[in-house]
Amino acid sequence: MKNTIKTILSLLCGAAILASCTKDESAKSVITVDVTAFNEVAASNPADLAVSVTSNVNWIVQTPSWITPSATYGSGNAIVTFKVGENYVNETTTVQPRSGEIKISGGGAMNGDGVTVTIPVKQSGFTYIDPAAPVGGIATPDHFVDFLKAVAGGTGTSRWEDESGEVVLLDNVDLSEVTEYQQYVASVINANNDCTIESNAFSGTFNGNGYRITGFKPTVELAANQTFGLFPAVNEAVIKNVVLEGSMTISATGQSDAGLLVGTSLNSTIQNVTVNGTLYSTGTEASARFALGGIVGFACATGSLNNLIENCTSNVAVEAVGGANTANGGTCAMYGGIAGFSTYNKGEGRSTIKNCVNNGDMTVTLGRCSGIVATPNGGTVLDGCTNNGNQVNAISNGRLANICCVIGQDGKLVNCVNNGDLEAMNSGGNGTCAGLVALLNHATVSVDGGGNYGVIRTDRADGKYVGLLVANFSKFATVSNVVVSGGIEISGAAAAINEGNFMEYIGTCSAANLANVTGLTWVTPAN
């Protein structure tokens, strides 16, 4: 009997346990949310956070002290928002990032179980960066703008210098978001044979490390005695190993100078630089010199110091007019693929343009225009330079050539080659044009080596001051060992030039001067 009762009790207990288990399973507490974590919550002015809660029980909310929920408890389904406090003091105080957890819990003793959902929260901090602290180089557009401001303001550039003291690029820099360049214009007094920089100028070493500066797109108007470029003025500086890409739009109201890379270079060195882009100019409102260059506007050496532009390439396409300035002398509006105007103050120093190349075409109306230097006024040596750009010049009575327009005192042209064509079909009957140089203008000038392979096209019917080499052999010491090639077309008619008569087409040269022209060689054009 007792065993029977035990058996019945066991069966009843088992049924009760089974019933209990079935009941608990169907009534299990459930809390789910639609967010797994909140990461990178802003330190300053953080947005509210929101959580959609799905539940079949009552629940409570727990948060860190810096997070305030819209509800601390609830039942069933709901949306709970959370206001996050700022993790920011001010712009000069460093605040570390912080993290915490949002917990939503329910069930528990009433349901025979409990459930908790945890949502991690990570909020950013703020790191104060001293704007004057060294950064060891230029890595961002902001760094470069700060560098330009420091140069203009004369506050020093040590922040961007590496251990060797060079200002260095650490990466490519895109300046396309920079729109205001007028503030960097520098003041200068650039005379025919001297240079004085009156503004703060860069005087250190800038090493581009082969990186590119892109998006340089200034629109600038210069007043009298002003200069502009990416580096408006440099004095006893070095700029090297950089590629610049941009488009300059420039005009002037008085005598001024500009280049895409450097406006005025005084006793400085520019090496291994390539400039790609365009230059547009509407000229100047005054009859005063406006010297433009694909790389440098005005270059000058003073005393015993030298100014050097070496191993540089200009891929700058030019569209420029002189505006009110239609002269062809030293005060004219001018453009040179490497430099606009180059000179010295008649000391021992020289302004040298060496192993430079111009590939940019020139469509202009300017009194002087050349692929290398428009006006090497004095003390200028052009050594191993090549022009591959074509020039179309609509000026009347221009002084034009594709290496340089005139060479002054102590000037030299060494192993320079022109491959570009020159078209001057609006000469007014008295323009001068040539393959290498328009005018040799001092008894100390020499031309040695190199040659012309370009075609000269003009409408000057008398053919005077039109030459394959030099338009006007006026004053010089020697012209020697130069290759003569290319061609001359006058009003569409090509001259029949050959080995027997090519000396008649080298340019206008007196019998006395012709004695100082030696060793010329004719090379028949390829086509």
Tell me phi and psi for residue 105, to 5 degrees.
-125, 150
Cα 94 to Cα 29, 98, 125, 131, 142, distances in angstroms? 44, 13, 8, 14, 21
What count of Cα atoms within 13 Å lies in the side-chain half-sphere of residue 28? 9
Residue 526, pLDDT score = 87
Q: Find out whether 173 and 147 touch, Cβ atoms under 8 Å.
A: no
> If 0-12 CB within 10 Å is exposed, 13-18 middle and 19+ buried, where does residue 48 land?
exposed
Strands 167-168 and 269-284: unpaired
Domains and CATH numbers, the chain: 31-123 (2.60.40.10), 179-522 (2.160.20.110)
Strand residue runs (E) in 229-365: 231-235, 238-252, 256-259, 262-266, 269-284, 290-293, 296-301, 307-310, 313-321, 333-336, 339-344, 351-354, 357-358, 362-365
What is the C-alpha separation between 351 and 381, in angstroms, rounded?
Answer: 6
| pLDDT number for residue 110 | 54
Q: What is the largest CA-CA distance in the chain?
A: 153
- pTM for this predicted structure: 0.79
What's the pLDDT score for residue 17? Answer: 37
pLDDT at 111: 58
Spatial distance between the Cα atoms of 205 and 153, rounded to a whole number of angstroms: 18
β-bridge mates for residue 114, sequence order: 107
Per-residue model confidence (pLDDT) at position 443: 97
Task: Report the pLDDT value the prediction gives residue 127, as an integer from 0 to 100.
Answer: 82
For the chain, state the CA radius of gyration: 38
Per-residue pLDDT tens digits of the chain, which is 527 residues long: 334 334 333 433 343 333 344 445 556 889 899 999 999 999 999 999 999 999 999 999 999 999 999 999 999 999 999 999 999 999 888 999 999 999 999 987 555 688 999 999 999 998 887 667 778 999 999 999 999 999 999 999 999 999 999 999 999 999 999 999 999 999 999 999 999 999 999 999 999 999 999 999 999 999 999 999 999 999 999 999 999 999 999 999 999 999 999 999 999 999 999 999 999 999 999 889 999 999 999 999 999 999 999 999 999 999 999 999 999 999 999 999 999 999 999 999 999 999 999 999 999 999 999 999 999 999 999 999 999 999 999 999 999 999 999 999 999 999 999 999 999 998 777 889 999 999 999 999 999 999 999 999 999 988 899 999 999 999 999 999 999 999 999 999 999 999 999 999 999 999 999 999 999 999 999 87
Query: What's the distance, CA 428 to chain centroid?
Result: 39
Residues 6+ apart with CB under 8 A from 280: 247, 248, 249, 250, 319, 320
